[in-house]
């Protein structure tokens, strides 16, 4: 059974899916890795991976994940037409999650990364209550409004008895620019959150043009050696925390 890691955020727009994708692609260089796009109503991983390949179904009515960059992944975005709205109620959402997790031809996996929707809702409750989840990673910016919402997400995982492995501060700018107009939030907000909840800051991903360009052009940013040097220490710390749990 693979070790399962949830990537979550309290607020949308903080770059959670970008972080999830790059961690998964980097993880796949060393381990057999699967990636689930559980952001059912706003799937973006198919676009970010740059593939138009559709998920297929076997004669046994199991899903065959799409493979790219050494990674196996499933997403509603690889099932629906581009731009088509996902008009599903809660029961259908839970059903597709179960299909992704238990009725997909994953083969042998070491790790399974699950990109979840922003907020605290049905997807998180279903995943944490009905399946084995080894830990959650929170993604936030250093803005207070984001910290406020990621605090709710942290409380949710604690109530669901899921280990929070740490928090990643995304779009971090404090050490990049001297011009204050480029600063997003205050890194002190993230440190205060970390201290209040006794969880580590796994690392900070700077607000770089290369990362934005990669997203817009459907290329994982960690294919760039410079970006890999940013993400690798974060992944190493994440795995250290995860393996300490075992």
* Binding residue numbers for ATP: 10-17
242, 3 Cβ separation under 8 angstroms: yes
Q: Which residues contact 34 (CB under 8 A, 6 or more apart)?
A: 2, 65, 71, 72, 73, 74, 106, 109, 111, 112, 113
Residues that constitute the known binding site? 10-17
Which neighbouring-strand residues pair with 180?
none
38, 97 Cβ separation under 8 angstroms: yes
Q: From residue 228, give the alpha-carbon distance in Å to each of 1, 97, 211, 235, 236.
A: 27, 30, 11, 10, 12
Closest to 56 (Cα-Cα) out of 104, 114, 124, 126: 104
Alpha carbon 123 to chain centroid, angstroms:
13
Which neighbouring-strand residues pair with 56?
64
Q: Which residues contact 38 (CB under 8 A, 6 or more apart)?
A: 97, 100, 114, 115, 116, 117, 123, 127
Q: Which residues contact 44 (CB under 8 A, 6 or more apart)?
A: 17, 37, 77
């Amino acid at each position: 059974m693979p070790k399962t890691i949830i990537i979550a955020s309290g607020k949308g727009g903080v770059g959670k899916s970008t972080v999830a994708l790059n961690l998964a692609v980097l993880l796949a260089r060393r381990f057999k890795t699967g990636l689930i796009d559980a952001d059912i109503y706003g799937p973006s991983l198919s676009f970010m991976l740059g593939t138009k390949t559709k998920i297929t179904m076997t004669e046994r009515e199991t899903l065959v994940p799409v493979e790219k960059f050494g990674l196996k992944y499933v997403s509603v975005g690889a099932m629906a037409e581009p731009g088509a709205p996902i008009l599903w109620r809660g029961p259908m959402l839970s059903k597709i999650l179960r299909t992704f997790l238990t009725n997909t031809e994953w083969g042998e996996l070491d790790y399974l990364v699950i990109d979840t929707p922003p907020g605290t809702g049905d997807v998180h409750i279903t995943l944490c209550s009905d399946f084995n989840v080894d830990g959650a990673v929170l993604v936030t910016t250093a803005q207070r409004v984001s910290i406020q919402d990621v605090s709710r997400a942290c409380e949710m995982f604690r109530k669901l008895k899921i280990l929070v492995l740490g928090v990643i501060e995304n779009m971090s700018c404090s050490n990049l620019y001297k011009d204050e107009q480029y600063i997003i939030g205050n890194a002190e907000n993230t440190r205060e959150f970390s201290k209040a909840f006794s969880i580590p800051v796994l690392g900070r991903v700077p607000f770089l043009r290369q990362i934005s360009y990669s997203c817009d052009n459907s290329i994982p940013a960690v294919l760039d050696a410079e970006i890999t040097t940013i993400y690798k220490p974060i992944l190493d710390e994440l795995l250290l925390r995860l393996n300490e749990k075992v």
